Amino acid sequence: MLNIHPVPAFRDNYIWVIHNQDHAAVVDPGIASPVIDYLQSEKLQLCAILITHHHSDHTGGIAELTQSFNVPVYGPGNESIAGITHPLRENDSVRLEEIAVNLSVIDIPGHTRGHIAYYGSTPFAMVFCGDTLFSCGCGRIFEGHAAQMYQSLQKLCRLPDDTRIYCTHEYTLGNIRFARTADPENRKLIELEIAVEQLRQHNIPTLPTLLSLEKAVNPFLRCDQPALINSAQQHVAAPLPDPSRVFSVLREWKNNF
């Protein structure tokens, strides 16, 4: 039976551990020690490391983990990351035989130049999307541009609605507060805020989220909807000709929120 467990790290990171009863792969280990502690507590043998992008809070544990475990390290071929043994690009695949998981690679640049995601369809639909798509939000644009980030999010939107989204930061509550400002009449968003506040009061992760839910509440996935178009146009006091421009305004608005 497959389990995907969030190992907390730093202030708000999650390192995802994908495992069965015996073996595990880890996604974006920014630090090794909590991963090693979890592997030991669950009596798991590490079989692979998956990296989505080069930021140190996603890669900082690679060296220590590979000193202890002789495993392949998968990561974006368009970024320079020490320790990567298997550079990947769009449509490449990763077969993790020990845990019976097959993942396909999606290029989703914007947050960083070579950011990738890993999508799998069995035993359920899942995507490990790093810092591109968050619950009720999206990543900052550091190395790409707004139109590029918008297209990356649109790629993720084309995945099945029941896809579980495993992003790597507990940003949900803060993201909801911005979303409520940009989309104040969204009833599903209001209901989500209540549920998320209850989870965080008990220090329970709000992730994974579902793509179907994100399409209903995430302003960055709703740039073609009248409520978000109107909010963005009011914010800049100018007409916006297409969803990509709406996205750009919303992302800049969120940067300064």
131 carries an active-site annotation: yes
Residue in 19, 58, 107, 183 annotated catalytic: 58
55 carries an active-site annotation: yes
Instruction: Give me 103's structure tokens.
Output: 């993942």
Residue in 19, 23, 54, 55 annotated catalytic: 55
58 carries an active-site annotation: yes
Amino acid letter, 255: N
Residue in 19, 23, 53, 115 annotated catalytic: 53
Q: Please report, for residues 9, 97, 168, 191, 202, the alpha-carbon distance to residue 197 in angstroms, rounded to integers and kept in the order given.
A: 21, 38, 19, 10, 9
Report the distance separating Cα 201 and Cα 31, nearest Å: 26
Asked if 166 and 127 count as a contact pair (C-beta separation under 8 A), the reply is yes
* N- to C-terminal Cα separation, the chain: 42
**For 43-171, where are the alpha helices, taking DSSP H only?**
56-59, 62-68, 146-157
Residue in 19, 23, 54, 111 annotated catalytic: 111
Report the distance separating Cα 13 and Cα 84, nearest Å: 21
53 carries an active-site annotation: yes
Asked if 224 and 242 count as a contact pair (C-beta separation under 8 A), the reply is no
Unique residue bearing structure tokens 């009720």: 136
Instruction: Give me 137's structure tokens.
Output: 């939000």
Unique residue bearing structure tokens 């640049």: 109
Nearest to 214 by CA among 148, 132, 144: 132
Residue in 57, 107, 115, 183 annotated catalytic: 57
Catalytic residues: 53, 55, 57-58, 111, 131, 169
